[in-house]
Chain A
């Protein structure tokens, strides 16, 4: 018989074995994702419609307002596709950000009764947002077929930009998730942040409308690089590759990720005592 595992509990101990513990709880991660996806798509009509309808309606409005009324440029691509190529990463970011932010408080029942590395909860929510993202991508494919607009080889780089978008959301998401435990009214601030974020990101319009000399300053918003990257990959390079913006976005996301993770790790020890 093999030696039984020895578990030692003492102050600060959980932090030492953290990453190994996280790996050990990968099945829990799988089940939490499974639960959320299942619950969302259980009432199939509303579930799928929700993931599809939201971006579709937003796209139509943006196309009408910015494309038809304001007559902003979209290069050679149809305005609807240009908008949607920006809307997709933005929706991924905003959904993941809002859901990660509320995830710890939302699962307080679980957290106060069962041990697992708390990082599992926001991670599962992030994956659920990715699933929604995949469903919403189907609309883009539909739109492209409708307009007969087929992307070229650049589309192969898309996973890279998806990764960049995910990287951009993890830091802020974890940060807000920890803050929300302590300051519950943050939940009222969150939708506001998301809303403002949408207007300062090039979602409804192409970032080419921003004057050249402010472009880099504008790229301090990490989503600018992500959205520009999406458009470059999907619109046959119609929108030039904003390389410096993407690099800036990657660096900022990386810094935010490390800071967010550290903040989360520092706060998570007291989650149970505060919840």
Chain B
């Protein structure tokens, strides 16, 4: 079979300086650093100056990556954040140059590293289709010819002449993907662009990508964090870690290697929230100071969370003196790693409330028998007035992974099959 993509010994290095503040990123710094150097050079007429440059180290984002992709096959690239997946895609799509090695791609290449690159909020949907199409490398005639198809796929007919700044995020993403889906390349490069939109539209995109490969014989290379997506979309995969290929071959095999390499990501132990950046808070009110998550599952000595474990979330809040004695509301929200909201648990729903007599409070929320499918989840903490005025909201401060295992699980639980692991009563009726 013909090879669509041949990658040989691809490497990419960046120079990183250990003392970040020493790399001049502004003219002021550049001058301030250069001036003493120049002065020294002037005084020592021979021009030899002992190096005052900071320690600069070569960082290899990719090292000696070699693989091939058959024409018409779909390759998934998996690996943890920072493993070099995106760097690889950036080289393949020519956004950045490799430091060594060679890539040969036969046919027209289109890459989609981001959904809606170059969309302009002031322009209408119609105008953005043309603009985005041109950015992705389509000819004007080609866009005109496929225009109706794109509009139909995106389901935005009625809003075609509305500026996209008025679009809902769902519409925006649909439009952006629709343009990309109508590219006509021999090789399509995708970066994690499917983790967007609602489930129904995601399914539609999955279908489109599969159609591109199976029906139209196009080659697809995609980066994904979703093992489910990798399994359904790709035949082959490569697993990258620290810039090197760890495993490559059939997708099932590679995904297995990858999943085996994962340490539990749950952040056990106390997390200091005082300097947590991702939060919405008011200056006066209350502030979350710490949080921790744990499990009391006797069967897991290493405190892993399995399907059906009891999960404890503890946190400390500091109330402003002015709030002491006022009725308050507390809430814990859960979401999946794809951003789907799962639960918003408010204290009053459980018949609990604090009318704090102190400035410091610590509370515990126990989620008994948590029946979430294996995967990574995030918890956010909220505190405010009974009228739901926000005092502090710490987003995604607790991250935990539910592992496949424990006493309940007897089969593989693919994430795309569901979110809740329910064991209802079954009986003959």
- Chain A interface (Cβ < 8 Å from any Cβ of B): 4-14, 27-28, 30-31, 34-35, 38-39, 42, 109-115, 182-186, 189, 269, 272-273
Assess whether A269 is in contact with B97, with CB atoms less than 8 Å apart.
yes
Q: Can you list 21 A-B contacts with CB-CB less than 8 angstroms, sorted by A residue number?
A: A4-B107, A6-B105, A6-B106, A8-B102, A8-B104, A9-B91, A9-B94, A9-B98, A9-B104, A10-B98, A10-B101, A28-B134, A28-B135, A31-B135, A34-B131, A39-B123, A109-B118, A113-B114, A114-B117, A186-B27, A272-B95
Assess whether B111 is in contact with A5, with CB atoms less than 8 Å apart.
no
Chain A residues with Cβ under 8 A from B109's Cβ? 7
Option from B28, B111, B117, B131 in Cβ contact (under 8 Å) with A31: B131
Per the bound structure, the CA–CA distance linking A65 and B114 in Å amounts to 53
Within the complex, the shortest CB–CB distance from B22 to chain A, in Å, comes to: 15
Chain B residues with Cβ under 8 A from A112's Cβ? 95
Assess whether A5 is in contact with B107, with CB atoms less than 8 Å apart.
yes
Per the bound structure, the CA–CA distance linking A130 and B117 in Å amounts to 26
Option from A8, A115, A185 in Cβ contact (under 8 Å) with B27: A185
- Contact-residue bracket for chain B: 35 or more
Chain A residues with Cβ under 8 A from B137's Cβ? 28
Q: Which residue of A lies closest to B90 (CB)?
A: A272
Contact with A along B1-42 (1 / 0, CB 8 A): 000000000000010000000001111101000000000000
- Chain B interface (Cβ < 8 Å from any Cβ of A): 14, 24-28, 30, 90-109, 111, 113-114, 117-118, 120, 122-123, 127, 130-131, 134-137, 139-140, 186
Per the bound structure, the CA–CA distance linking A7 and B316 in Å amounts to 58
Chain B residues with Cβ under 8 A from A13's Cβ? 97
A38-B123, A114-B111 known; A4+B97 contact, CB < 8 A: no
Q: Which residue of B lies closest to A6 (CB)?
A: B106
Chain A residues with Cβ under 8 A from B120's Cβ? 35, 39
Assess whether A273 is in contact with B96, with CB atoms less than 8 Å apart.
yes
A27-B140, A186-B27 known; A9+B103 contact, CB < 8 A: yes
Q: A5-B107, A31-B131, A115-B111 are in contact. List 16 more A-B contacts (CB 8 A).
A: A5-B108, A7-B105, A8-B105, A9-B91, A9-B97, A10-B101, A11-B99, A14-B97, A27-B139, A109-B117, A110-B118, A114-B93, A183-B25, A184-B25, A269-B97, A273-B14
Chain B residues with Cβ under 8 A from A185's Cβ? 26-28
Chain B residues with Cβ under 8 A from A183's Cβ? 24-27, 30
A11-B99, A14-B97, A115-B94 known; A6+B118 contact, CB < 8 A: no
Chain A residues with Cβ under 8 A from B113's Cβ? 113-114
Chain A residues with Cβ under 8 A from B98's Cβ? 9-11
Per the bound structure, the CA–CA distance linking A10 and B122 in Å amounts to 38
Within the complex, the shortest CB–CB distance from B62 to chain A, in Å, comes to: 13
Chain A residues with Cβ under 8 A from B92's Cβ? 9
Chain A residues with Cβ under 8 A from B105's Cβ? 6-9
Per the bound structure, the CA–CA distance linking A110 and B136 in Å amounts to 10
Assess whether A38 is in contact with B127, with CB atoms less than 8 Å apart.
yes
Chain A residues with Cβ under 8 A from B99's Cβ? 11
Chain B residues with Cβ under 8 A from A39's Cβ? 120, 122-123
Q: Which residue of B lies closest to A7 (CB)?
A: B105
Assess whether B97 is in contact with A6, with CB atoms less than 8 Å apart.
no
Per the bound structure, the CA–CA distance linking A185 and B91 in Å amounts to 29
